[in-house]
Structure 1
Amino acid sequence: MNDMSPVRAAEIATATPPAPRAYHGFNWPGFRTLYLREVKRFWKVGTQTLGAPVVTSLLYMMVFVVAVGGARPAVGGVAFATFIAPGLIMMTILNNAFANSSSSLLQAKVNGLVGDFMTPPLTPLEHVAGFALGAATRGLLVGTVTWIAVLPFADLPLTHLWAVLYFAGVASMILGLLGIMAGLWAEKFDHMAAVTNFVIMPMTFLSGTFYLVDRLPEPFRTASHFNPFFYLIDGFRYGFIGQAEGSLLTGVGMTAGIAIAFACVCLWMFESGYKLKT
């Protein structure tokens, strides 16, 4: 038997559900929550996300500098260890920024947890900003730790601070945005491994990390100047040693344009629900 009074029943019948909270402008609390979620994801497993890349970079330094460094001549008048150290630091920034955003989105899709970040009142801009800045934070943090770790092996003078800050920042953002696109596109971990093995790694190793691209034979020399990773590493290295192979103006313009284009693509993917609403 229903003991509800007629008055209470009438109130329930005429009641309307509460209106969703209206956010005017940028949803700062929601963005901050998503960003902190992305940071805490990699911070919880710091041994894997922070320690492992540093150890890998130190192994490269051991092989190229300690083992065969004595047999390697200076590169452009710069000690070989000083030449390759910025490239190794940039390589850790690129790889870790990409890994953070791509793994976060792919794991959410595979585990059926997309609703965790799609249900809250966040706009596509807030989604992209949260994931991209979280990835950039990991890339920059790993790069900073790697920088400190390689100092005993290489003398790294800080010649142009603006170049170090700009190219490190834009590199982490570009790869964070690329990780968003890859994470939304991929349907399984094999797809992500294909992007890493056939796109990220070849572009990284063929960008002048361990050598001068001007010493490559044609057509590889010309092709290297169309690789955006070359300009990221070259500009970042210029910030330390004061020498650049390519045009800094071209590097700044190209990398800024790529970052804007990738951001627009990511916004469209969230706006359309690309592979998120199926």
Structure 2
Amino acid sequence: MAKKSTIQTEKVNTYIVEWLKDYANNAKVNGFIIGISGGVDSAVTSTLCAQTGFKVLCVEMPIHQAPNQVSRGREHIEQLKKRFPNVSSIETDLTSTFDAFKDAVPTDGETTKVNLSLANTRARLRMTSLYYLAGIHGLLVAGTGNKVEDFGVGFYTKYGDGGVDLSPIADLMKSDVYALGEFLKIPNTILTAAPTDGLFGDNRTDEDQLGASYDELEWAMLADELGKSATEFVGREKVVFEIYKKLNTANQHKMNPIPVCSIPKKLK
């Protein structure tokens, strides 16, 4: 079911780096800022940005974070700073900020919905912090979403990790991101770790939340693009395709532009 990446990693790397350079030059900014999670997407994105020669600020923003996620992020940042003199880092511990927010809002609703809303709040606090620092240093917030997450199942927080200035890897499938990560020699601890958004303060993986692996969802996304339907599949393939379609439909509000109520000219 999995699709092995066929991208030309060296050429794709060069293409994205040049794209980032052009964008930064045209925007007349000093460089890029990236939130580092300890996952492959932020590791690849920050390494791509580092190659531009522009200032790159890597930001750790733990909120009751699992220790293994923190250690992977720090390992990557230290490696990146050794490789690229234009890379710096900062840690902004948002745990107390999150706890203060949690204490200030009502949490007496349905437990599942409250927990999900609080998880999304973590992502939104991080987005706010990134834009605060970006404003101080004249930087662009680089998004870390890949194609499956951003345009397949919508697995990101609206106005959280989805709130960015540009998206360098959003046209790459997850398998492509891993291939690029291997080419860029990001830490093996990151390449072999199970993907997780880290928003719940535990070790649940993305697959736990989505009900399917990225390999499976990538297959389903490609099948959907070919016009396939669930009736054409059986067993696990049918289950995965239905999961993909359900998530894709439910999260269109993230993928489409904000609806605008256009007032008829005769009423103006």
**TM-score, with length taken from structure 1:** 0.26
The answer to which structure has the higher strand fraction is 2
Which of the two has higher C-alpha Rg? 1
The answer to which structure has the higher helix fraction is 1
